[in-house]
Amino acid sequence: MGAVTYPDAKVIEFVNSRMIPVKILFDAQPYTSDFNVKWTPTIIILDEMSKEHHRIVGFLPPEQFIPAILLGIGKSNFELDRFEEALADLDNVIAEYPNSKAAPEAIYLRGVVKYKSTHDPKPLKAAYEKLQADHPDSEWLDRALPYRLLP
């Protein structure tokens, strides 16, 4: 990724604006053991308490890297009950990177975040319907399948 993805101008701008990047060598102890790093590159989204919320293992081209990281940030915000921030991140993935590999999970998770923040089940069904229309071969459609039964 150091030859292709990290030098990309959009990736540099995104990382500098949204993250605190830390590069650790593949054999740096105790970090690789503490975070169970077995392959490079491994990108881990941590919160301010060093709790892991998202992990990416292996190469991603620039056009997949940004939405994958943005999804990870959205997951982190969701798991920290920062629902508005999570929705903004997930909406960004869905709107700006609709054909990315991160988009189906972002659609699914958006429905979950909306439900958890409002207790209204309609966003779950809406997530299923959007996945069915836009990503019919996605594993996230399978995971959303029960939501089709909601009123």
User: What pLDDT does residue 2 have?
Assistant: 76
CA atoms within 13 A on the CB side of 24: 19
> Domain extents for the chain?
9-149
Which of these CATH numbers, 1.10.730.10, 1.25.40.10, 3.90.1720.10, 3.30.565.10, describes 9-149? 1.25.40.10
Residue-level length of the chain:
151
Task: Please tell me the predicted confidence (pLDDT) of residue 26.
Answer: 85
The pLDDT, as a whole number, for residue 86 is 98
Enumerate the β-bridge partners of residue 55.
44
Cα 83 from Cα 87, distance rounded (Å) = 6
Nearest C-alpha neighbor of 70 from the set 55, 51, 53, 92: 92
Is residue 104 within a helix (H) or strand (E), and if so which, with residue range? helix 103-118
CA dihedral 11, 73, 58, 144 (to 10 degrees): -130
For the chain, 151 residues long, the average pLDDT of each consecutive 10-residue run is 87 94 91 93 94 96 96 97 98 98 98 97 98 98 97 91
Q: Is the pTM of this model over 0.85?
A: yes
| Residue 92 φ/ψ, nearest 5 degrees | -65, -45
At 45 the three-state DSSP class reads strand
What is the pLDDT at residue 5? Answer: 92
Asked if residues 141 and 109 have their Cβ atoms less than 8 Å apart, the reply is: no
Closest residue by Cα to residue 95 from 85, 86, 107, 81: 107
Q: What is the pLDDT of residue 4?
A: 87
Are the C-beta atoms of residues 58 and 36 closer than 8 Å to each other? no
